[in-house]
Amino acid sequence: MPREWNTPVRECWNAPIHNILKAIDNHTQIYFSTGDKWHLEQANFLRTYVSSLKTWIHEQERIADRSINNRSVINQ
């Protein structure tokens, strides 16, 4: 499914996040088929990382938006 929107901040992170989500799926599938808890732990580790990364991306987008808005006000 294609992205409906994108920003310069998240552009370079889309592919890595997609691949990490696939890795989470792989770990989860292996955990369910083998019961090896290491895979469940790794999936949770990656979920935490992606969540933290997305929080950082949102913060960077807010900073960029404020910067753009401040420049607009100054140029008026």
Helix axes 14-34, 37-75, angle to 10 degrees: 160
Domain count, the chain: 1
- The band of 66, judged by pLDDT with boundaries at 50, 70 and 90, is confident
Q: Is pLDDT at 72 greater than 70 in this prediction?
A: no
pLDDT at res. 73: 61
What is the mean predicted confidence (pLDDT) over 5-28? 95
What is the mean predicted confidence (pLDDT) over 65-74? 74
Q: 41: domain range?
A: 17-75
| Domain-embedded: residue 10 | no
| Domain-embedded: residue 11 | no
| Domain-embedded: residue 5 | no
